[in-house]
């Protein structure tokens, strides 16, 4: 499919000529093409919907939708502002259109996309600029684009509650309105009703970060009419955004985020909501009812929509743990899914693979919202970036034949620099480190073969064959602290030369250029032209590709953290972020265990010395080929395994001494 970058446009200083060109596009389109864009049962142009509608003449309007909630306690139901742009010609012909919706709290405070675009309005309050390219590209192709302000943000009533019932209802109510189940109004306070008879009722939600999170949450309600979602770098459980098994991740709590996104007028009226957010999310890391309300995983059983998930494997903002657990929950329900995994950080696919992304998204929406049988659901499920700009595909993901395999740490010739293999360590083997909150995973990886007091590291020998991990790993540790509190980090490292996206830099793996390309059509207020990007690459001899953290005081569960008894052994499992990474032949695989991961994890109240019982610790890896692939790669097949004499736990025998293993 040719790259849909239009030729230089007629200057918008000649609006009459531009309008004539748009009119000719409709008149000269193949018979039935304009109608097909709205009518899945009618004749369709081959291949997919085409840009046969004018963008400059599109209807632009705002509808205030009743959420049925009174989050700000002012005695009346909150209304959310839904800014709509839709083809005028379709309305004139009585043709209905499907809707692409992005519900967000960021349209006035922070902006959307790589250029932080905000909504703009004319003097009468009518929308002028719709951030991002969705309107420019899809409205001429027979879609409506609807951008919803979540409660408490921009022009909406109510209070934002950071992924809670109000946020979710903000967007769900709009889906209901589009399907005739909720009330819409022509103004924020008036009584004039507005219907959505122009809509087919078919809705696709899309968005990055918070926006994609709302798409996940609305899909988890099972609302009728939501046909597909495209969550990009999205959260699946808000607890896991702020904490990692009890350990607080850097940043403010949900009350701080609420204060950052709320409109100025909401800040006074929403103080009670902010207080509830702060009280319900203590920085102790304990699970509370607030987190239960904001955990969408259980709702996977209600999902009716197909899901096209996109995530950066090096996203340190919304970590891929969110993707992995959401993907697995959807798989259990048999939800139709597609996935793109990049090597960038928290970056939109429009900015890391634009020329492939837009036509792929176009075909996805054509299929699920317009009913085109274009085969996209039968194509390979996964696109995975291996190196900057280099992609592979998989028929399903994780690939068939992916099975859990176990690697075990063992002492090496030098304390603190051990080995990683399939045989358990001898009984009594230990390795110790002292938490240093000033050291990070990059510091640890750079000194993986050199003992340092802040970490212990374990490495395989050079691999005989490639070793591919696809999915979520975990590390089971038995640890004895010498203080009443302790944080733990575990990271997987690919030791060998590579060129990777510079995900730790400001652009998180992309470099923004000055040149622009245009996607769809535009007006002076909303050009549809965006700055190009290119991969920002860096050469390295070690790549951290998965990580996880925990507060040892939550060894017994998330409900309550407990003070530790110095000198007592505790067992805990660290969940490592999902990934798809190939450790090439000749490289080594490393597991590093340490304390606070500087810049990502907040320190514990103490900086203890911790001793790891190696016999009772192990890492579980989702390997393509399972144990057989591991044996080939580590050349360990056929070696006799040590026979433990104590009863086995999933990761080795229980310690004989005092322990609080769950």
Residues 265 and 318 in one domain: yes
Looking at the domain assignment, is residue 505 inside a domain? no
CATH number, residue 320: 3.40.50.1820
The count of structural domains within the chain is 2
| C-alpha dihedral (271, 276, 277, 279), degrees to nearest 10 | 120
Structural domain includes residue 513: no
209 is a catalytic site residue: yes
Task: Note down the domain range covering 475.
Answer: 402-499+542-653
- Structure tokens given for 398: 């994780």
pLDDT digits (tens, 9 = 90+) for 372-418: 999 999 999 999 999 999 999 999 999 999 999 999 999 999 999 99
CATH number of the domain to which 468 belongs? 2.60.120.260
Tell me whether residue 8 is in a domain.
Answer: no
Same structural domain for residues 358 and 458?
A: no
Q: Is residue 5 part of a domain?
A: no
Domain end point (choices 345, 372, 394): 394
With beta carbons less than 8 A apart as the criterion, state whether 409 and 591 touch.
yes
528 belongs to a structural domain: no
Tokens of 567: 């000198």
Query: CB–CB of 553/561 below 8 Å?
Result: yes
Amino acid 174: pLDDT: 98
Whose tokens are 């017994």? That residue is 556
94 lies in the same domain as 170: yes
In 313-414 the beta strands, taken as DSSP E runs, fall at 337-342, 382-387, 390-394, 402-414
The predicted structure's pLDDT at residue 653: 29
Q: What contacts 142, CB < 8 A, 6 or more positions away?
A: 34, 36, 37, 38, 49, 52, 53, 87, 90, 97, 370
- Radius of gyration over every alpha carbon of the chain, rounded to an integer in angstroms: 27
Q: Is 581 a catalytic residue?
A: no
Three-state DSSP class for 141? helix
Rounded percentage of the chain residues whose pLDDT exceeds 70: 89
Give the C-alpha separation, 333 to 304, whole Å. 10
Confidence of residue 265 (pLDDT cuts 50, 70, 90): confident
pLDDT at res. 463: 98
Is 113 a member of any domain? yes
Q: How far is C-alpha 294 from the geometric centre of its chain's CA atoms?
A: 15
Q: For 555-602, how does the pLDDT look when each residue is reduced to its tens digit (9 = 90+)?
A: 999 999 999 999 999 999 999 999 999 999 999 999 999 999 999 999
Q: Are residues 223 and 252 in the same domain?
A: yes
Asked if residue 277 has pLDDT above 60, the reply is: yes
Q: Is there a single domain that holds both residue 97 and residue 202?
A: yes
Q: Are the C-beta atoms of 415 and 431 separated by less than 8 Å?
A: yes
439 and 386: one domain? no
**pLDDT over 60 at 2, yes or no:** no
Among candidate residues 209, 236, 485, 489, the one labeled active-site is: 209
Query: What is the model's pLDDT at position 258?
Result: 95
Same domain as 462, residue 323: no
- pTM of this structure: 0.89
Question: Same structural domain for residues 410 and 389?
Answer: no
- pLDDT tens string 234-262: 999 999 999 999 999 988 899 999 999 99
Q: Which two tokens stand for residue 200?
A: 């087919």
As a whole-number percent, the residues of the chain with pLDDT over 90 amount to 87
Whether 67 maps to a domain, the answer reads yes
Query: Does some domain include residue 453?
Result: yes
Half-sphere exposure of 436 (CA within 13 A, CB side): 15
pLDDT digits (tens, 9 = 90+) for 66-93: 999 999 999 999 999 999 999 999 999 9
Domain boundary at 394, 421, 436, which?
Answer: 394
Instruction: Calculate mean pLDDT across residues 505-527.
Output: 97
| Structure-token pair, residue 630 | 């591991």
Which has more pLDDT, 1 or 138? 138
Residues 359 and 458 in one domain: no
Catalytic residue among 72, 315, 351, 494: 315
Catalytic one of 322, 346, 487, 542: 346
- Please write the tens of the pLDDT for every residue from 609-661: 999 999 999 999 999 999 999 999 998 433 433 333 333 223 232 233 332 22
Return the structure tokens found at 404: 């859990």
Does 4 score more than 90 pLDDT?
Answer: no
- 485: its two tokens: 């509190």
Q: Which of 107, 143, 124 is nearest to 262 (CA)?
A: 107
How is residue 528 written in tokens?
Answer: 């549809």
The mean-pLDDT minimum among 13-17, 203-207, 493-497, 570-574 falls in 13-17
pLDDT digits (tens, 9 = 90+) for 127-153: 999 999 999 999 999 999 999 999 999
State how far the Cα of 331 lies from the Cα of 327, in Å rounded to an integer.
Answer: 6
Of residues 331, 333, 334, 340, the one with CA closest to residue 308:
340
Same domain assignment for residues 375 and 482? no
Same domain, 68 and 134: yes
Please state, in angstroms and rounded to a whole number, the distance separating the CA atoms of residues 605 and 387.
Answer: 39
d(CA 498, CA 314): 15
Q: For position 44, what pLDDT does the model report? A: 61
Residues 239 and 174 in one domain: yes
- Please say which residue of 394, 427, 454 terminates a domain: 394
Beta strands 199-208; 226-232: pairing state: parallel
């Amino acid at each position: 499919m040719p790259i849909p970058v239009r030729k230089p446009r007629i200057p918008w200083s000649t609006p009459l000529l531009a309008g004539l060109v748009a009119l000719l596009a409709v008149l000269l389109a193949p018979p039935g093409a304009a109608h097909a864009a709205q009518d899945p049962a009618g004749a369709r142009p081959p291949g997919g919907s085409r840009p046969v509608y004018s963008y400059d003449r599109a209807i632009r309007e705002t509808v205030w939708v009743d959420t049925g909630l009174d989050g700000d306690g002012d005695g009346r139901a909150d209304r959310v502002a839904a800014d709509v742009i839709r083809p005028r010609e379709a309305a004139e012909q009585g043709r209905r259109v499907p809707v692409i919706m992005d519900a967000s709290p960021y349209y006035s405070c922070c902006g959307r996309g790589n250029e932080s675009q905000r909504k703009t309005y004319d003097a009468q309050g009518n929308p002028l600029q719709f951030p991002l390219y969705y309107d420019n590209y899809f409205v001429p192709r027979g879609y409506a684009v609807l951008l919803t302000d979540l409660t408490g943000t921009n022009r909406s009533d109510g209070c934002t509650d950071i992924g809670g019932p109000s946020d979710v209802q903000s967007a769900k109510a709009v889906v209901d309105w589009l399907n005739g189940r909720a009330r819409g109004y022509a103004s924020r306070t008036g009584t004039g009703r507005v219907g959505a008879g122009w809509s087919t009722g078919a809705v696709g939600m899309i968005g990055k970060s918070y926006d994609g999170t709302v798409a996940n949450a609305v899909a988890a309600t099972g609302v009728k009419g939501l046909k597909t979602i495209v969550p990009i770098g999205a959260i699946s459980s808000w607890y896991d955004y702020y904490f990692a098994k009890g350990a607080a991740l850097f940043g403010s709590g949900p009350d701080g985020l609420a204060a950052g996104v709320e409109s100025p007028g909401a800040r006074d009226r929403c103080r009670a909501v902010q207080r509830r957010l702060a009280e319900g999310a203590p920085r102790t890391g304990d699970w509370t009812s607030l987190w239960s309300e904001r955990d969408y995983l259980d709702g996977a059983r209600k999902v009716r929509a197909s899901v096209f998930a996109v995530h950066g494997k090096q996203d340190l903002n919304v970590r891929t743990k969110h993707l992995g657990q959401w993907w697995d929950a959807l798989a259990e329900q048999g939800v139709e899914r597609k996935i793109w995994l990049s090597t960038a950080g928290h970056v939109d696919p429009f900015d890391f693979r634009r020329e492939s992304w837009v036509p792929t998204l176009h075909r996805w929406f054509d299929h699920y919202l317009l009913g085109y049988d274009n085969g996209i659901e039968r194509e390979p499920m996964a696109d995975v970036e291996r190196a900057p700009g280099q992609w592979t595909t998989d028929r399903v993901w994780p690939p068939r034949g992916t099975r859990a395999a176990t690697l075990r740490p063992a002492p090496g010739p030098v304390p603190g620099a051990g080995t990683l293999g399939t045989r358990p360590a001898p009984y009594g083997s230990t390795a110790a480190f002292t938490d240093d909150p000033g050291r990070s995973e990059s510091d640890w990886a750079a000194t993986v073969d050199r003992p340092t007091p802040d970490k212990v590291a374990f490495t395989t020998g050079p691999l005989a064959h490639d070793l591919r991990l696809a999915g979520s790993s975990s590390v089971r540790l038995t640890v004895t602290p010498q203080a009443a509190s302790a944080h733990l980090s575990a990271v997987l490292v690919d030791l060998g030369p590579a060129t990777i996206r510079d995900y730790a830099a400001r652009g998180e793996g992309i470099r923004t250029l000055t040149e622009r390309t245009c996607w769809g059509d535009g007006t002076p207020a909303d050009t549809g032209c965006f700055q190009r990007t290119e991969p920002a690459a860096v050469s390295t001899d070690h790549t951290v590709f998965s990580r996880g953290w925990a507060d040892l005081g939550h060894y017994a569960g998330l409900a309550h953290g407990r003070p530790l008894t110095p000198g007592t052994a505790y067992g805990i499992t660290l969940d490592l972020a999902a990934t798809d990474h190939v450790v090439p032949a000749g490289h080594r695989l490393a597991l590093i265990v340490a304390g606070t991961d500087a810049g990502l994890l907040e320190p514990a109240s103490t900086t203890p010395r911790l001793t790891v019982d190696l016999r009772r610790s192990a890492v579980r890896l989702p390997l393509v080929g399972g144990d057989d692939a591991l044996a080939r790669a580590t050349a360990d097949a056929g070696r006799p395994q040590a026979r433990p004499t104590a009863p086995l736990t999933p990761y080795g025998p229980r310690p004989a001494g005092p322990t609080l293993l769950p």
